Amino acid sequence: MSNETIQWHAGEAFWESPANIALVKYWGKYPGQLPMNPSLSFTLRESVVRIRMKYAPAGNGPGGLRSFALNGKPNDKFRERISKYIDSMKAYYPFLKDYGLDIESQSTFPHSAGIASSAAAFSALAMALGSIESGLSGKEIMDSGFLQKASFSSRLGSGSACRSVYGGFTVWGKSDHLPGSSDDFAVKIDDSAIHAAFHNLQDAVLIVDDTEKKVSSTAGHALMNGHDFRESRIAQAEKNLGNMLQALKTGDEELFVNIVENEALTLHGLMMSSRPGYILIKPGTIALIEKIRDFRQQNNINICFTLDAGPNIHLVYLDKDAGRVRPFIQQELLPLCKNGRWMDDGVGAGPKKK
């Protein structure tokens, strides 16, 4: 955008954006935050970050982040990360060179609760930047180009964030199985390619442990560079993606469950077999996995688990099974959770302008 088109004024953008949970995992990246393998996730409904971004002409000072508050309090750690991110975005949103930003962020879920808050936060930031840019140019259009740019920009903040700008199911990373897929941004899987059985997929996030994890995702990704299983992991993810797209399309529940659990255990297997190796799951994680598998076998109901880079379990089930699965969660799984804590989530519709 050239300076001629900027209408100099102050204002604010207020966006809410969700976290997502990967069914085929992004693990390992190349410089420029480009993924080693394609990944697939669904966007959550309840676990969201809200970003209020106030902007005002910077006058003679440099544009960029002026203040940052998380849940009402200043937060130096996040302020620094977001300030660097905003500076890096000046190349894509030139108005940032001339405007100061005051950002307030709030999340509906606790930090370290097994949900990647960075995916929600960076997608919300990118949506806010895009809407300020289009507002300043006088034409606020939220078309597919807007979402693609938001996905591209979110990716540069945190890789998995690029999948959160769409509702439903999303793929990030170039794959022969999905025309139009890209390493630069995520694409939404058309709802018509998702069987009705999966439209309302449920996700019970079961909290085993909420302490800060010992190894960050960023450090974990880096350990994939020299990993013994690197090439076979890349091939496995590609194969799992193809089969997952097939399962989602045809409503093949057994294939779905198979891939979801294979991906979750592979992710943690890759962590354990890194050099140095590390373990993020806890005894409580294994106890929940055993309960979930026993329930599936005994009741012939296709529930399954997945894991992020942490010990907490995401129990994924179809809404048609909710009547049988919910009492199981309450009676058998919550007693194994830390202080009985869990979050009742599921597929959501994507970011919202407030």
Sequential DSSP letters for 168-213: SEEEES--TTSTT--SSSEEEPPGGGS-HHHHT-EEEEE-S--SPP
Q: Which of 131, 134, 154, 158 binds ligand DP6 (CB under 6 A)?
A: 158
Candidates 17, 37, 39, 47; binder of ligand DP6 (CB under 6 A) is 39
Binding track over 295-314 against ligand DP6, x by CB under 6 A: -------------xx-----
Binding mask 76-115 for ligand DP6 (x = CB under 6 A): ----------------------------------------
Listed ranges 4-12, 23-31, 42-50, 252-260: which one lies at the site for ligand DP6 (CB under 6 A): 23-31
Listed residue (64, 75, 90, 321) closest to 329, CA to CA? 321
Stretch binding ligand DP6 (CB under 6 A), from 49-57, 102-110, 214-222, 320-328 = 214-222
Distance CA 304, CA 23 (A): 11
User: Is 20:49 a contact under the CB 8 Å cutoff?
Assistant: no
Size of the site for ligand DP6 (CB under 6 A): 17
Tokens of 159: 């890789």
Nearest Cα to Cα of residue 268 among 319, 233, 238, 320: 233
Is there binding between residue 181 and ligand DP6 (CB under 6 A)?
A: no
Nearer to ligand DP6, 40 or 303 (CB): 40
Q: Would you count residue 25 as binding ligand DP6 (CB under 6 A)?
A: yes
State the sign of the Cα–Cα–Cα–Cα dihedral 55, 61, 63, 66.
negative
The stretch near ligand DP6 (CB under 6 A) out of 51-59, 94-102, 157-165, 253-261 is 157-165
Tokens of 347: 């597929």
Contact 342, 330 (CB under 8 A): no
CB of 55 to ligand DP6, least distance (A): 25
**Measured from the CB of residue 3, what is the shortest distance to ligand DP6 in angstroms?**
33
Using the contact rule CB under 6 A, the part of the chain among 178-186, 190-198, 213-221, 234-242 near ligand DP6 is: 213-221
76-88 vs 144-157: helix axis angle to the nearest 10? 130
C-beta closer to ligand DP6: residue 222 or 287: 222
Residue 10 CB-density burial (10 A; 0-12 exposed, 13-18 middle, 19+ buried) = exposed
CB closer to ligand DP6, 132 vs 156: 156
Q: How far is CA 35 from CA 19, 138, 235, 272, 312, in A?
A: 18, 35, 13, 20, 24
Contacts to ligand DP6 by CB under 6 A: 22, 25-27, 33, 39, 116, 118, 158-160, 217-218, 221, 267, 308-309
